[in-house]
Chain A
Amino acid sequence: MTQGWQNRIRNFCIIAHIDHGKSTLADRLLEYTGAVSDREMEEQLLDKMDLERERGITIKLKAVRLSYKAKDGQTYELNLIDTPGHVDFTYEVSRSLAACEGALLVVDAAQGIEAQTLANVYLALEHDLEIIPVINKIDLPSADPERVKQEIEEVIGLDASQAILASAKTGQGTEEILEAIVQRIPAPNGEVDKPLRALIFDSYFDAYKGAIPNIRIVEGKVTKGMKIRMMSTGKTFEVTDVGIYTPDIKPVESLSAGEVGFIAASIKNVKDTRVGDTITQEDRPAAEPLPGYKKATPMVYCGLYPIETNQYDDLRDALEKLQLNDASLLFEPETSSALGFGFRCGFLGLLHMEIIKERLEREYNLQLITTAPSVNYRVVKTDGEVVMVDNPTNLPEANYLERVEEPYVSASIIVPSDFVGTVMELCQEKRGQFDNMEYVTQNRVVLTYTLPLSEIIFDFFDQLKSRTRGYASLDYEFKGYYEADLVKLDIMINGEVVDALSSIVHRDQAYYRGRALVQKLRKLIPRQLFEIPIQAAIGNKIISRETVKAMRKDVLEKCYGGDVSRKRKLLEKQKEGKKRMKQIGTVEIPQEAFMAVLSIDE
């Protein structure tokens, strides 16, 4: 039952595809409600990290309380819970949705619905959220709101007659949106007298206060000084601060059922504030945690190695610091005979991996070699033992293998009908299994395929985009482990296996991949003072060979007074290039070579 004071609370989030204008719209709402003045207004306030701004993707979510005086004369407390917009972070999205009663569905008036949006809308519907369609960017000349409305009705089955036409850029529709939030999204319920149950939908690390969970109180009440318990781990803490974001931090006495905010409790590690976990009161615990808690499991693994071996400790420190803020990042020490000491790291997906890598390089000034990403294989050995292999080097020898299973995903691809053939072809090449095809409108199709995750991380997205001229969108979720005929493909450089270049591939593709990879490596490895053979091998069998010819001639023929500086700069540049290479045996190998397996030409 909604209690009187809860009537003036609305909890909502924004669902949108990348670039459809979520952050700009959030800015307009903040501006309109006076949460930030124009002067303070920095574009796209909710995306805090530089990297997020650059990529236009919200990675870490946040909650903001807006105070809005509606046309009915009442002042409402609107909690905007931000959500990440990428397939890597589906679970985080689902937890944010669980903290809301409603969602703004923002769709680009020119582009229509994309696969990721669709996936999130379905998630929102599962959580019984009230969905308010907002058709954004109607100021664009190519805007076609009627077509988009039709899509929303036909694809999602939502009544789009009440869709709000908006332009986050010009501010058009902002007030209508705020009114719709008040009128159409239900107020939260949940009894304040029951034992505390608070959902952690996000957390971050503060250097002074420790791990800070962002929470939605579902039942009960949390106050300063209260002893709390994390229901998944059983760990207990004492609440030192309770607060909200306006968006600046503002302390409050307590948070009650229906409210959104944060607590601080001297929690040392974000691992103890897991997204999806339930917080309860130590002295008066709830009987059951809230449903839906899942420990985040990495889907993609890769090795991270410092180019300079003396940066190993710095790399570990940096990873530890990043992990403070990101419980889904896993890492453990690993040794490669080619690359030395480094870490095998687990990520939610490719984007997550790239973000972490970029942050390590940019914020921590590390020079890294990334090995090609791998999935986690399930290997059943002949003696019955089951091992998980997240690094191709560790795949047991063929004669110890009973079978190898790899993770498969269910992928849905939304694509204009003109491209159905080419997408099906791509999925076929990638060992996909056709599941379903559905026309969502006359000329848009949802294709569903079961695909090996390893194929998705191998160049799938780029291929999909280029073959559909950017029109296709992709979403996928883990489906299960299935057996496949997989072999380890080794690369030998100058006669030695370079473990960091090994990959696990399907037997049917092994020959072709091996050949493409050595050809690519031949182009990437610069000529050196001696000839360098590059070979691809399966077991002891060489399946392909290329040679990097020895550098025989590298000399400035002319060097007189006019060009000393220019020649010096050329030499300096040449030297810089050399510095970025990794010495393996006597061969210098550039960083890109370790990622070569990812982008060999089809």
Chain B
Amino acid sequence: MFGLYIHFPFCVKKCNYCDFLSGPITSEDTVEEYLLALEEELTIYHNLLEDKGNLELRTIYLGGGTPTTLEAHQLVRVLEKCRDLFAWAPQLEATIEANPGTVDLNKLVQLKKAGINRISFGVQSFDQYLLKSMGRIHSPQEARESIAMAKTAGFENISIDLMYGLPDQTLSQWDNTLREALELGVQHISVYGLQVEKGTVWGNLQAEGKLSLPEEELTLAMRKLCNELLSQAGFKRYEISNYALPGYESRHNTGYWLGKPYLGLGLGASSDFWHRRFVNTFDLKHYIALLKRGQLPIVEEELLTYRQRMGEMIFLGLRLMDGVDLELFGERFGVRAEVIYSKEIEKLRKMGLIRVTQKHLQLTPKALPIANYVFTFFV
């Protein structure tokens, strides 16, 4: 059993903060070649796994970019290939990322029919001005309409992304966005503080000193407000940036935080499989060319040390509010985390940044905004 991630490096227009591997579609031929390559990649993995009898998928995640930039039949084609080649676990979670303005009812219905049962919309904000300054292509109204359509199409597990800490954003704008978001009737909300990355439009502006980001105090207040409003609405924060109604936690993403194996297909996708971490090429032409020759497009492979694996299990696990499963840690590594990290845990416990429950190692609420500081003790 494993998770399957498929990357679609296409979008309508690059956003000002985006450093993901994506860009506008240059030609329909490219899309066709890309889909053929994806099918080939799926086939290769199928052949590799067939002998071992390891063909059951736990989760599927179509991410990007904006996968819904593609036509419904193109996405359905990929999903059907997945169904042909792999076994879908009962209760399989299949998510697609979408952006308001790239979906219509027909597309949504077809996706639903092809097996997608969870959809995640990049809503980001309900402030017209902020959306524009982020370089988003949609309006608040389009976001509301897209989500309504998804419901009509039969989706019962809908997630949205929101962003805070945006240039010139005020607390009252944020308050409004949160309230609007809660009006939508979605089951899952991811809330990300802006991180300005180099090479993005905003990164360049920042380098020139032309980006006016909110003060740290304000961004902390924004996170706090978000925690309060979402919790009042029945959402539980289950990960540093993720909130869900009970039972609607993202199973695919939770797999990453628990260190479960996953295969990543498509341009630049990463996998953690066969106890190795490997990454596909970031060059679209190269990706297509390699798969045309029937070769996996892997360009980087990393064999993690035991110690690195342990560190990862801790810092990924601590992202979850449940924390690191100490039993599981012991089983996986043959040594208890409390033993191998005894000094670190003791120090952090005294500082009030970490607590050890019967079964788990957890961050305290105080530690959440400075989680990296805690993580550095374990890497």
Q: Which residues of A contact B94 (CB under 8 A)?
A: none
Q: Which residues of B contact A71 (CB under 8 A)?
A: none
- Roughly how many angstroms separate A551 CA and B367 CA in the complex, as a whole number? 11
CB <8 Å contact, B371 and A556: yes
Q: Which parts of B269-325 form the interface with A (CB within 8 Å)?
A: 269-272, 277, 302, 308, 311-312, 315-316, 319
15 extra A-B contacts, CB within 8 A, seeds A557-B192, A559-B256: A529-B370, A552-B216, A553-B216, A553-B369, A553-B370, A554-B369, A555-B372, A558-B195, A559-B240, A559-B257, A559-B319, A561-B264, A562-B268, A568-B308, A578-B376
Nearest chain A CB to B322 CB, angstrom units? 16
Q: Which residues of B contact A555 (CB under 8 A)?
A: 193, 240, 368-372
CB <8 Å contact, A558 and B192: yes
Q: Which residues of B contact A49 (CB under 8 A)?
A: none
CB <8 Å contact, B256 and A557: no
CB <8 Å contact, A552 and B370: yes
Q: Which residues of A contact B369 (CB under 8 A)?
A: 552-555
CB <8 Å contact, B270 and A564: yes
Q: Which residues of B contact A554 (CB under 8 A)?
A: 369-373
A572 within 8 A of B: yes
For this complex, 22 residue pairs linking A to B, each with C-beta atoms less than 8 Å apart, are: A529-B373, A552-B216, A553-B369, A553-B370, A554-B372, A555-B370, A556-B372, A557-B193, A557-B240, A559-B319, A561-B3, A561-B262, A562-B5, A564-B270, A568-B315, A571-B311, A572-B379, A574-B372, A575-B376, A575-B377, A575-B379, A578-B376
Nearest chain B CB to A556 CB, angstrom units? 6
CB <8 Å contact, B270 and A565: yes
- Roughly how many angstroms separate A564 CA and B317 CA in the complex, as a whole number? 12
- Roughly how many angstroms separate A529 CA and B353 CA in the complex, as a whole number? 11
Question: Which residues of B are interface residues toward A (Cβ below 8 A)?
Answer: 3, 5, 192-195, 216-217, 219-220, 240-241, 253, 255-257, 262, 264, 268-272, 277, 302, 308, 311-312, 315-316, 319, 351, 368-373, 375-377, 379
- Roughly how many angstroms separate A120 CA and B272 CA in the complex, as a whole number? 66
Q: Which residues of A contact B371 (CB under 8 A)?
A: 554-556
Nearest chain A CB to B115 CB, angstrom units? 21
A560 within 8 A of B: yes
Q: Mark A436-453, 1 if CB is under 8 A from B, else 0.
A: 000000000000000000
* Interface residue count on the A side (C-beta < 8 Å): 23
Question: Which residues of A are interface residues toward B (Cβ below 8 A)?
Answer: 529, 551-565, 567-568, 571-572, 574-575, 578
CB <8 Å contact, A571 and B372: yes
Shortest 3 CB-CB contacts between residues of A and residues of B: A575-B376, A571-B379, A554-B372
Q: Which residues of A contact B272 (CB under 8 A)?
A: 561, 564
CB <8 Å contact, A574 and B376: yes
Q: Which residues of B contact A567 (CB under 8 A)?
A: 315
Nearest chain B CB to A527 CB, angstrom units? 10
CB <8 Å contact, B220 and A552: yes
Q: Which residues of A contact B256 (CB under 8 A)?
A: 559-561, 564
- Roughly how many angstroms separate A557 CA and B312 CA in the complex, as a whole number? 16
Nearest chain B CB to A70 CB, angstrom units? 65
- Roughly how many angstroms separate A512 CA and B255 CA in the complex, as a whole number? 57
CB <8 Å contact, A571 and B315: yes
Contact A557:B241 (CB < 8 A) given known A564-B316, A574-B372, A575-B376: yes
CB closest chain-B residue, reference A555? B371
CB <8 Å contact, A529 and B351: yes
Nearest chain A CB to B123 CB, angstrom units? 16
Q: Which residues of A contact B312 (CB under 8 A)?
A: 564, 568
CB <8 Å contact, A561 and B220: no
Nearest chain B CB to A432 CB, angstrom units? 39
- Roughly how many angstroms separate A562 CA and B5 CA in the complex, as a whole number? 10
- Roughly how many angstroms separate A507 CA and B244 CA in the complex, as a whole number? 64
CB <8 Å contact, B253 and A560: yes
- Roughly how many angstroms separate A6 CA and B269 CA in the complex, as a whole number? 80
- Roughly how many angstroms separate A342 CA and B201 CA in the complex, as a whole number? 50
- Roughly how many angstroms separate A565 CA and B308 CA in the complex, as a whole number? 10
8 Å CB contact of A568 from B3, B194, B257, B311: B311
Q: Which residues of A contact B311 (CB under 8 A)?
A: 568, 571
8 Å CB contact of A551 from B219, B255, B373, B376: B373
Contact A562:B220 (CB < 8 A) given known A554-B372, A554-B373, A557-B195: no
Nearest chain B CB to A560 CB, angstrom units? 5
Nearest chain A CB to B308 CB, angstrom units? 7
- Roughly how many angstroms separate A564 CA and B241 CA in the complex, as a whole number? 16
CB <8 Å contact, A571 and B5: no
CB <8 Å contact, A551 and B319: no
Nearest chain B CB to A514 CB, angstrom units? 28
Q: Which residues of B contact A563 (CB under 8 A)?
A: 270
Q: Which residues of B contact A572 (CB under 8 A)?
A: 379
CB <8 Å contact, B270 and A561: yes
Nearest chain A CB to B199 CB, angstrom units? 14
Nearest chain A CB to B98 CB, angstrom units? 17
CB closest chain-B residue, reference A562? B270
Contact A553:B241 (CB < 8 A) given known A564-B270, A565-B302, A568-B311: no
Q: Which residues of B contact A560 (CB under 8 A)?
A: 253, 256
- Roughly how many angstroms separate A575 CA and B220 CA in the complex, as a whole number? 24
Q: Which of A552, A555, A561, A572 has the most CB of B within 10 A?
A: A561
- Roughly how many angstroms separate A555 CA and B319 CA in the complex, as a whole number? 10
CB <8 Å contact, B269 and A565: no
CB closest chain-A residue, reference B376? A575
Q: Which residues of B contact A564 (CB under 8 A)?
A: 256, 270, 272, 277, 312, 316
8 Å CB contact of B264 from A551, A562, A568, A574: A562
Q: Which residues of B contact A551 (CB under 8 A)?
A: 370, 373
Q: Which residues of B contact A571 (CB under 8 A)?
A: 311, 315, 372, 375-376, 379
Nearest chain B CB to A151 CB, angstrom units? 47
Q: Which residues of A contact B262 (CB under 8 A)?
A: 561
- Roughly how many angstroms separate A537 CA and B311 CA in the complex, as a whole number? 44
- Roughly how many angstroms separate A564 CA and B379 CA in the complex, as a whole number? 12
Nearest chain A CB to B15 CB, angstrom units? 14
Q: Which residues of A contact B5 (CB under 8 A)?
A: 561-562
Nearest chain B CB to A61 CB, angstrom units? 48
Nearest chain B CB to A372 CB, angstrom units? 29
- Roughly how many angstroms separate A559 CA and B195 CA in the complex, as a whole number? 12
Q: Which residues of B contact A561 (CB under 8 A)?
A: 3, 5, 255-256, 262, 264, 270-272
- Roughly how many angstroms separate A568 CA and B256 CA in the complex, as a whole number? 13
CB closest chain-A residue, reference B309? A568
Q: Which residues of A contact B351 (CB under 8 A)?
A: 529
Nearest chain A CB to B377 CB, angstrom units? 8
Nearest chain A CB to B311 CB, angstrom units? 7
- Roughly how many angstroms separate A574 CA and B373 CA in the complex, as a whole number? 9
Contact A568:B379 (CB < 8 A) given known A553-B216, A561-B270: yes
CB closest chain-B residue, reference A566? B270
CB closest chain-B residue, reference A569? B379
Q: Which residues of B contact A574 (CB under 8 A)?
A: 372, 376
Q: Which residues of A contact B377 (CB under 8 A)?
A: 575
- Roughly how many angstroms separate A267 CA and B240 CA in the complex, as a whole number? 68
Nearest chain A CB to B278 CB, angstrom units? 10
Q: Which residues of A contact B255 (CB under 8 A)?
A: 561
- Roughly how many angstroms separate A555 CA and B318 CA in the complex, as a whole number? 12
- Roughly how many angstroms separate A555 CA and B164 CA in the complex, as a whole number? 14
Q: Which of B193, B371, B372 has the most CB of A within 10 A?
A: B372
